[in-house]
Structure 1
Amino acid sequence: MLSRSLSILLLGLIALISLATPASAGPDFWAMWNNRNRCVQKDIRVVAAINQFCSVNFYTGTGYAAQGVSIDGVRVGVGASCAYGTFVPQVWCESQMLEVCSMGGAKGRGNRAYDNGCQHFWITNG
């Protein structure tokens, strides 16, 4: 009887952990490292702008996100088209901006859509 109760308890804990794991999952830090290296090779100023912009948590649709940050001729920001007020934590901002730079042009400029096309991360001259 006791072993059956412990087995049920163990199965319940496993189920609970499996539900919590995706919610706590973060970005792929190996991919971030690779993207940062590619971005540094393209234009180190882009990395500086990303670091400055992504140093705070923000929400899409705010002035901070839409205006972005400009450093040394590089401007980065996030536009929103259908999901205003979506929370963007620092680590996700950095991960997605580094991906934009890595996949962008020769100098790391470009844009990519996230969150089913509702968030638009961009890097331009500015």
Structure 2
Amino acid sequence: MGKQTVLIVDDEPDFVTMLKQDLHSEGYAVEVAYNGVEAIQKVKQSPPDIIVLDIMMPEKDGFAVCSELKNDDRYADIPIILLTAVSDHVSSSQYSHSQALDVEADDYLSKPASFEEILESIRSLLA
């Protein structure tokens, strides 16, 4: 069996680079998309084993990407970890924890999530 592939979808290059290096060192193959539109294209070209998806992105946000994938039978089984920089006390109607559950994300981490938190989530969802 080959390496498990993680698709990182985030518009912050520094975060992507760091996470990519850390995941490589843990033995994962890593694909990257910098916005939601690119993420959907990558998933359709080559579905990953799991997706780490930032919520706040240009063009198509993480909620839209998550919702689109979860409503497509071909991709509905791919676990999605949503990352959000919105803290719990910000009750923005646009970005809320309940909305993450509405779009059927498999896990939900607040940014800045530590690599350990992200890795733990990836491992438990792929177990």
Q: What range is the shorter-chain TM-score in?
A: 0.3 to 0.5
Q: What TM-score does the superposition give when structure 1 sets the normalisation length?
A: 0.33
Q: What TM-score does the superposition give when structure 2 sets the normalisation length?
A: 0.33
> In proportion to residue count, which structure has more helix?
1
